[in-house]
Amino acid sequence: MRKQASRLFYGNVSDFLFTVCQRGAEAVLKAEIARLRPELRFAFSRPGFVTFKIPSDAKLADDFDLGSVFARTYGFSLGRVEGTDAETMIREAWHVAKEAPHAARAHLHVWERDAALPGDRGFEPGVTPLAEEVGQQIAEAAGEITPTVNHLAKSGQRILDVVLVEPSAWWIGWHRASAPPSRWPGGVYSLQTPEDAVSRAYLKMAEALAWSRLPISPGDHCVELGSSPGGSCQTLLDRGCTVTGIDPAEMAPEVLERENFTHLRARSKDLKRRTFRGMHWLTADLNVAPSYTLETVEHIVTHRDTNFRGLLLTLKLMEWDLAEQIPEYLERVRSWGFEYVRARQLSYNRQEICVVALRRRQMRRKPFWREGAARQP
Ligand SMILES: C[S@@+](CC[C@H](N)C(=O)[O-])C[C@H]1O[C@@H](n2cnc3c(N)ncnc32)[C@H](O)[C@@H]1O
């Protein structure tokens, strides 16, 4: 499919970029944007929501890549509506939306900023019933066009965004869908936790696979360092992979009894590297400092007996200050012979990031959303 040409967006004094992140990640996001895009000036923030002023002479393509690890999603701001009367706010929201490119008004994404940290007291990011209800009401009030609400966007589609920053203060904006998270409402990969999932890592791994487009196929052999109790191994087993889990701690019985699963009850560094011969993909989710995870993985993947196609590594940011070292972490992974290396704080991550590495960029899986703009599973 030919990529449609990007439209250049010329900022003026009233223009802002809005970004959405995990609660608590605002400061590292601000520091990251100051490094990546010094022309963007921090403007306003609430937990999980940060805006930046776009200078009047900035030229940004409407699908420009912010290149941020911590911004779940982002877009061009159009304005805010505030009030206590939902009907009036809905009318005003649609009025503000008329400033968006016409095509954006056919697709609406509505979500609330996160109410808590992912995993805290059962909270998971995603479209809430309130956001869905507001979305449906805006669609009904739209009149000339009835936009779709919270559908998975297709590549190149322009999307109208309504962020419920507070129940009484909504931020209206728009963006053009491009990379996978820009197609998901609020940048969140929406998934119900299966009843038999033994840990939240099930969600993390599912989102990591969707974001990274790692071409893992049924029958491939994956190894996970730090596999107990086994949620992420379940995700890989559900995709038809053969999985070896390495962890000194016990695996959940539901995982141990799966036919294609093997548990090596050991610390990763205590195993001979020939153990990893013939394996295709390495994932790591160790509850240790990033330097330890990287040292452990380096020891395995740089050995002549191993030939991994790609990696998915969780790096725990025990302190937020470690975020400054992310560019060095990625450089280190590249030095092991992986051409394509990216990082993202996934919506289901806690204070940690996910790093994907592939031998070559072209190996990435064809995006499934090309097949249609269906609602997310
Ligand atoms: C966050 S938990 C992993 C969760 C797991 N991925 C899941 O899907 O349920 C971190 C795990 O790393 C393990 N771990 C820590 N250091 C390790 C090492 N050197 N080798 C192997 N496992 C280790 C711990 O025992 C712990 O079970």
Domains 8-187 and 201-368 in one fold:
no
Number of alpha carbons in the 13 Å side-chain half-sphere of residue 262:
12
The answer, yes or no, to whether any atom of ligand 1 lies below 6 A from the CB of 185, is: no
Residue 5: the pLDDT is 42
Quick one: CATH architecture of 8-187?
A: 2-Layer Sandwich (3.30)
Q: Taking the domains of the chain in order of start, what are their residue ranges?
A: 8-187, 201-368
Compute, in angstroms, the gap from residue 124 CA to the centroid of ligand 1.
22
219, β-bridge pairs: none
Compute, in angstroms, the gap from residue 53 CA to the centroid of ligand 1.
42
Burial class of residue 234 (count of CB atoms within 10 Å of its CB; 0-12, 13-18, 19+): buried
Does the CA dihedral 45-48-49-55 come out positive or negative? positive
pLDDT 10s digits, 179-197: 999 999 999 999 988 999 9
* Nearest CA, atom 23, ligand 1: 226
If pLDDT is split at 50, 70 and 90, which confidence band does 376 have?
very low
The CA distance from 105 to 89, in Å, is 17
The answer, yes or no, to whether any atom of ligand 1 lies below 6 A from the CB of 225, is: yes
What is 201-368's CATH number, 3.40.50.150, 3.90.940.20, 3.80.30.20, 3.30.930.10?
Answer: 3.40.50.150
Compute, in angstroms, the gap from residue 200 CA to the centroid of ligand 1.
13
Query: Which amino acid does the sequence have at 355?
Result: V
* Mutation choice for ligand 1 from 258, 267, 286, CB with most ligand atoms inside 8 A: 286
The answer, yes or no, to whether any atom of ligand 1 lies below 6 A from the CB of 287, is: yes
pLDDT 10s digits, 128-176: 999 999 999 999 988 777 899 999 999 899 999 999 999 999 999 999 9
